Chains A and B, each alone.
Chain A
Amino acid sequence: MPDLFEPLQYGFVIRAILAASIVGIVCASVGIFVILRSLAFLGDAISHAAFPGVVIAFLLKANVIIGGSIAAIGSALAIGLIARRSGLREDATIGVVFAGMFALGVVLFGRIRTYTGDLLGILLGDVLGVTEDQLVLAAVAAIVIVSALWILRRELIFVSFDPTGAAAAGLPVLRYDALLLGLIGLAIAVSVQVVGIVLVVAMLVTPAATARLIARDLPEMVRLTVAFALASAVAGMYASYYVNTASGGTIVLVATLLFALTWIARSTRRRQTR
């Protein structure tokens, strides 16, 4: 049994575990809606669309979380707007905006060759490089996201479950949808530093999807999603420390493993009760 306190003597490890946990909670709470609304593809798209924002912020020596947020939220809202105005299906609009934004990121990325190591961290995550400032910013964003979802949970569920009925009851459905897209964008931008653009979608989707397999009602789904996300974050960080693997990838692998185990456990129990 390895000494679980040993890694905690390093400040950067503590910061990394805290950052991964914050990302776990943020992605879990937003991810519940991503799963309920079938927005997994949109989540993947928004995370890629954050790329040019991160690169531009890097070029301007500005905060990459803020740069990523602006690009992510902007793209999320643009996707919703274009889908409504153009008459195209949402998946087509998502494809156009996501590829276009990511291409912009690639082109800009090619312009700077000097600090590519840091930028690779953005693509694949660099949780060990999290600074105290980034941690504070992530915590503030997490509080904003979680309280917004908590305060408006009844309305957001109503709008998702029954948009026509919610509109008939006088709820501004489009505004709630836009808010949800904005929160997804913010959650992605906060998470990019930890798991990277390529893997953010796993943090959004996998814990909530795992919970959806077995949850009987919404409170249970919320509890399980947060539990799976935190377990993946902390266990993934420890595993990557001892096995010396990339943290972002390890966290996502743990989450995927939990999904597989939950699915198997559910199938076995069903077979037994049958």
Chain B
Amino acid sequence: MGYGGPPVLTDVDLAVSEGELVALVGANGAGKSTLLKVIVGLLSPSTGTVRVFGTEPHLAAPRIAYLPQAEELRWDYPLRVDDVVAMGRIGRKGSVPEGAQHDALARVSAADLARRPIAALSGGQRQRVLLARALVARPELLLLDEPATGVDPATEEQLMTVLRDIASTGRTVLVSTHDLAGVVAHFRRVVCLNGRIVADGDVSLLRDDRVLRETYGGHRPAGPFDYADEHHA
């Protein structure tokens, strides 16, 4: 899988079941975003197949919601929060119920932001608005590209609570992230990427020095458990 140059990702063999909440970790350029884009059908694999709900990604698109990295969006536009949330209806099959937008905003505790100009939103509020937009059409698969970037800990906690709720109702959530401590705190399954799948399993894999080295190369970040260990000392 790649963008025409050397492949960004090779040998990806990954199956995710309904109701799972999965974290994708890896350094910048490790292929996290690429993998999410392949799943939603924005990129096609050069070899191999991707099946989403047993069909081609683009055919499954109406059942998938994808949250791009927040900095890719034009937050300077003269739009209000509910204009952005309303975009969640566009391209969706079937009718979306009338109150869906309000419900989605309430779900991320942002009902009071509805009339706020988007230019005035903080990083955490932007993420909540994007998540609300994704929830409008009640997707069965939710893909989030680095939602924790530029978000304060309280908002991250809140986002994760919403995502856990969604997963607990049998819907599937994949999140790419740099925040290893957040992964350990909120996820059960982690997929470590570094141009390929280095490891895939319980988040306790992040305890394994070999896994972290292979995921991040020589310059591995502080592991999520280093912090905890310091506390015990």
- Closest residue on chain B to residue A165 by CB atoms: B68
Interface residue A170 (Cβ < 8 Å from any Cβ of B): yes
Any chain A CB within 8 A of the CB of B193?
A: no
Q: Which of B68, B78, B90 contacts A215 (CB 8 A)?
A: B78
- Nearest residue, chain B, Cβ from A167: B42
B11 part of interface (Cβ distance < 8 Å) = no
Chain A CB within 8 A of B72 CB: yes
Asked if B74 is at the interface (CB within 8 A of a chain A CB), the reply is yes
- Residue in B41, B61, B87, B117 whose CB lies within 8 Å of A162: B87
Question: Bound complex: CA of A123 vs CA of B84, how far in Å?
Answer: 41
Considering only CB atoms, which chain B residue lies closest to A32 in the complex? B78
In the complex, are the beta carbons of B58 and A218 less than 8 A apart? no
Q: Is residue B40 within 8 Å, beta carbon to beta carbon, of the partner chain?
A: yes
Instruction: Give chain A residues whose Cβ lies under 8 Å from the Cβ of B37.
Output: 168
A155 close to chain B: CB less than 8 A: yes
With an 8 Å Cβ cutoff, the count of chain A residues facing the other chain is 24
* Of the residues A160, A168, A212, A221, contact of B74 by C-beta under 8 Å: A160
Q: Report how far A155 CA is from B91 CA in the complex, Å.
A: 9
- Known: A162-B72, A218-B78. Contact between A170 and B87, CB under 8 A? no
A162 proximity list for chain B (CB < 8 A): 68, 72-74, 87
Report whether over half of chain A's contact residues are helix, strand or loop; otherwise say mixed: helix
- CA separation between A225 and B68, bound complex, in Å? 31
Q: In the bound complex, what is the Cα–Cα distance between A212 and B90 (angstroms)?
A: 25
Known: A160-B74, A170-B58. A216 touches B117 (CB 8 A): yes
Chain A residue contacts of B61, Cβ below 8 A: 168-170
Interface residues of A in 204-259 (CB under 8 A from B): 212, 215-218, 220-221
Q: Can you name the residue of chain B whose Cβ is closest to the Cβ of A155? A: B90
Q: Is A150 an interface residue (CB 8 A)?
A: no
Report whether A216 and B78 are in contact in the complex, using a CB–CB cutoff of 8 Å. yes
Output the nearest chain B residue to A221 by Cβ-Cβ distance: B78
The listed residue (B67, B78, B91) touching A217 by CB distance below 8 A is B78
Contact residues, B38-84 vs A (CB, 8 A): 40-42, 58, 61-62, 64, 66-68, 72-74, 77-80, 83-84
Could you tell me the distance between the alpha carbons of A165 and B41 in the complex, rounded to whole angstroms?
11
Tell me if B186 is interfacial: C-beta within 8 Å of chain A: no
Inter-subunit contact A170/B62 (CB<8 Å): yes
- Cβ of A28 to closest chain B Cβ, rounded Å: 15
Q: Which residue of B lies closest to A168 (CB)?
A: B66
A165-191 interface code vs B (CB 8 A; 1 in, 0 out): 111111100000000000000000000
In the complex, what residues of A have CB within 8 A of residue B92's CB?
169
Instruction: Tell me if A263 counts as interface (CB < 8 A to partner B).
Output: no
| B199 within 8 Å of A (CB atoms) | no
Is A154 interfacial (CB 8 A cutoff)? yes
Which chain B residues lie closer than 8 Å to A168 at the CB level? 37, 40-42, 61, 64, 66, 68
User: Is B68 a contact of A154 with CB atoms below 8 Å?
Assistant: no
Give, as a whole number of angstroms, the nearest-CB distance from B208 to chain A: 33
Q: In the complex, how many angstroms separate the beta carbon of B139 from the nearest chain A beta carbon?
A: 10
The residue in chain B whose Cβ has the minimal distance to the Cβ of A171 is B91
Does A158 lie within 8 Å of B74, measured CB to CB? no
In contact, B117 and A154 (Cβ under 8 angstroms): no
Q: Tell me the bound Cα distance from A155 to B67 in angstroms.
A: 17
